[in-house]
């Protein structure tokens, strides 16, 4: 033993640790206490998540039950309204038609419904927190460590507390996706507002603008590129988390990718992965083009 330990004492060779019995008792106590706490608040948790479940089911039914031609027309109209680019509209039409051609339309609609809801919820949560962090250094110091943990924690770890608290289903999957996708929105909102030129703010103050007027009329408009990048990254993070969330009952393309991984179905995994990439490209190009248009409009209005 001494030769294998560089002739050091045994206490220096094996790191001092709790014995197995103590670790088992600690895990048992913590897990049991956590489960008891969740059971005691189960009715309140169910009541709180019920509206999310209803909203998600309604949006999913709207996407899946509406004729494909109507959905495609509405989607292309949204792309055109956001981008004002026929190239992006044509590319989106080709991508969606390819998805439908390979028999992935319904699963894609389920995924679109999930990503749409998660993106809206993440923006609603992230935008106010980002504004507060930009207006208060103390708030920023409080938020940054939490965001660091959220962005470095492996995505699968999000599922553990979510499943224990909320169980298996669409809502737990949606909550896990929102937690994973909200940090970019908070960070980029904070960054965009803080990067507004101090001279512009001084000019606004000289004209008698209140703090609220400076925020809505100066800081947020000038921070639009960063805000739109935040929305863009939130959408991308939601799409990337959909596959992981399929492990707790979220359907759609993520479920098919998970099935392909478990059964080594290369073609199934490739086709569903292609559909996810196509959706991501459509969202990415549209949101970026919309952000550029908003910025140009604001610059023209100020000129």
Q: Which residues contact 98 (CB under 8 A, 6 or more apart)?
A: 274, 278
Confidence of residue 3 (pLDDT cuts 50, 70, 90): low
The pLDDT of residue 303: 58
SS3 labels along the chain: CCHHHCCCCHHHCCCCCCCHHHHHHHHHHHHHHHHHHHHHCHHHHHHHHHHHHHHHHHHHHHHHHCCHHHHHHHHHHHHHHHHCCHHHHHHHHHHHHHHHHCCCHHHHHHHHHHHHHHHHHHHHHHHHHHHHHHHCHHHHHHHHHHHHHHHHCCHHHHHHHHHHHHCCCHHHHHHHHHHHHHHHHHHHHHHHHHCCCHHHHHHHHHCCCCHHHHHHHHHHHHCHHHHHHHHHHHHHHHHHHHHHHHHHCCCCHHHHHHHHHHHCCHHHHHHHHHHHHHHHHHHHHHHHHHHHHHHHHHHHHHC
Predicted confidence at residue 71, as pLDDT, reads 93
Per-residue pLDDT reduced to its tens digit, 93-126: 999 999 999 999 999 999 998 898 899 999 999 9
Any residues with CB less than 8 A from the CB of 155 and at least 6 apart, and which? Answer: 180, 240, 241, 244
Residue 239: other Cβ atoms inside 10 A: 25
How far apart CA 35 and CA 28 sit, in angstroms, is 10
Length of the chain: 303
- Mean pLDDT (whole number) for 261-288: 87
- pLDDT for 194 beyond 80: yes
For position 79, what pLDDT does the model report?
Answer: 93
Q: Quick check: 2 pLDDT over 50?
A: no
For residue 190, pLDDT over 70 is answered with yes
Average pLDDT, stretch 159-176?
84
pLDDT > 90: percent of the chain:
30
Confidence tier at 90 by pLDDT (50, 70, 90): very high
Closest C-alpha among 126, 124, 99, 129 to residue 112: 99
* Mean pLDDT for all residues in the chain: 86
In this prediction, residue 234 carries a pLDDT of 92
Average pLDDT over residues 130-144: 93
Quote the pTM value: 0.85
- pLDDT tens digits, residue range 213-267? 888 888 888 888 889 889 989 998 988 888 788 888 788 888 888 888 888 888 8
Q: Are 225 and 295 within 8 A, CB to CB? A: yes
- 207: pLDDT strictly greater than 60: yes
Give pLDDT, residue 93: 95
**pLDDT confidence of residue 4:** 62
Average pLDDT over residues 61-79: 92
How far is CA 231 from its chain centroid? 9
Residue 301: per-residue pLDDT? 60
Mean pLDDT, to the nearest integer, of 192-214? 85
């Amino acid at each position: 033993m001494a030769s294998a330990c560089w002739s050091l004492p045994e206490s220096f060779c094996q790191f001092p640790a709790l014995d197995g019995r103590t670790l088992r008792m600690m895990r048992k106590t913590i897990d049991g206490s956590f489960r008891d706490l969740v059971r005691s608040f189960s009715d309140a948790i169910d009541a709180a998540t019920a509206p999310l479940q209803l909203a998600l089911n309604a949006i999913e039914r709207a996407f899946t039950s509406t004729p494909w031609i109507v959905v495609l027309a509405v989607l292309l109209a949204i792309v055109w309204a956001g981008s004002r680019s026929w190239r992006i509209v044509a590319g989106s039409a080709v991508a969606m038609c390819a998805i439908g051609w390979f028999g992935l339309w319904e699963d894609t609609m389920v995924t679109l419904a999930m990503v749409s809801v998660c993106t809206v919820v993440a923006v609603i949560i992230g935008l106010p927190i980002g504004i507060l962090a930009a207006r208060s250094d103390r708030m920023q110091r409080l938020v940054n460590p939490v965001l660091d943990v959220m962005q470095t924690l492996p995505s699968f770890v999000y599922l553990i507390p979510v499943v224990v608290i909320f169980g298996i289903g669409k809502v737990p999957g949606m909550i896990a996706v929102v937690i994973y996708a909200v940090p970019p929105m908070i960070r980029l909102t904070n960054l965009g507002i803080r990067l507004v030129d101090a001279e512009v703010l001084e000019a606004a103050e000289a004209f008698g603008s209140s703090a609220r007027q400076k925020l809505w009329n100066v800081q947020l408009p000038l921070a639009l590129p960063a805000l739109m990048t935040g929305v863009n990254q939130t959408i991308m993070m939601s799409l990337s988390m959909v596959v992981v969330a399929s492990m707790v009952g979220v359907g759609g393309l993520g479920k098919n990718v998970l099935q392909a991984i478990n059964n080594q179905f290369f073609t199934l995994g490739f086709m569903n992965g292609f559909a996810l990439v196509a959706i991501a490209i459509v969202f990415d190009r549209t949101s970026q083009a919309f952000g550029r248009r908003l910025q140009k409009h604001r610059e023209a209005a100020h000129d």
